[in-house]
Amino acid sequence: MNKLRSIYKFFTAIEQSEGVGARVRRSIGTMKLRNFTPFLMLDHFSVAPPAGFPDHPHHGQETITYILSGMVAHEDFTGSKGVLYPGDLQFMTAGKGIVHSEIPVGLESGEPAVGLQLWVDLPSELKDCEPRYRDLRKGETPIAKPSESLQVRVISGESYGVSSLSELAYTPVSFYHFIASQKGTEFEQAFPENFNVFMYVLEGSVSVNDKEFPQYSTVFFNADGEGVKGVSVSDNAEFVLIGGEILEQPVVQYGPFVETTKERIIKVFDNYQSGTNGFERAPGWSSSISGGIVEGDVENFEKSS
């Protein structure tokens, strides 16, 4: 790797309330960084019943949800439903409109659901596409093992010669989960030049470009190099490196509605309020899990999908 990317900005994600009783550490989507094209939001969440994200709409974006521990049930107004287990991911394309619910499963252990949710902008020509879901199970993500102390879950893209199954988002995204078991473990990851790239530290501390970043740090890179290289400065360091194709378009956002002009946002809001143009199934719909779901009900819930 001849030229490494320089650091654009970095800060620590501060815990805050979100949804109904959930706790999140938000980095992208705050006053510190409103968006980082194509990325609109990154939440590191911890939710346990009765907290959750009950019935709510989306338009003009994709969401990527990565479950690190615990379980999350989801259901939408198209009839799609399912449960994400530890290590699973869901790629949801809202397109022209969807209303769904994301609720942590009440586990006998009392363990909360912990994970990452990333909001990704859609290119303007795809904002009115049909909604879709793709669940990616833990066993479907290959693992690269470049050294005894480093492994990389290749969720989307290629790392150390190991490629993911397929591209899972309309907007091209690369997504890697690095796990370094020992202090001093070196790592590197290439990205296309037309991608914006960031790192989020889940556990331990990592050094990049001779600067140390502790747990919950988010590091944003300039699009001025071939990739990122660094070293773990603690045992059991975990972090994600994520990149996405830069979209040369305005971002006009009203909560979970994302468009390119104010006029289009107003139209989408009207569609949602009137149940038209993608939101025909919204009026009167409510999910079966909005009141909660417990571990013993999961099997029947999944069978009913």
**208, 229 in Cβ contact below 8 A?**
yes
Collapsing DSSP to helix, strand or coil, 229 comes out as: strand
* Cβ count within 10 A of residue 165: 12
56 marked as binding residue: yes
Collapsing DSSP to helix, strand or coil, 297 comes out as: helix
How far is the C-alpha of 237 from the C-alpha of 283, rounded, in Å?
46
E strands along 150-223, which residues?
Answer: 150-156, 158-159, 162-163, 173-180, 186-190, 195-203, 206-208, 211-213, 217-221
**125, 60 in Cβ contact below 8 A?**
no
177 marked as binding residue: no
What is the DSSP-derived secondary structure letter of residue 275? T
Between the alpha carbon of residue 130 and those of residues 76, 77, 93, 98, 295, the distances in Å are: 14, 13, 8, 9, 32
Q: Summarize the annotated binding site for Fe cation as residue ranges.
A: 56, 58, 100, 102
Q: Which residues are annotated as a binding site?
A: 56, 58, 100, 102
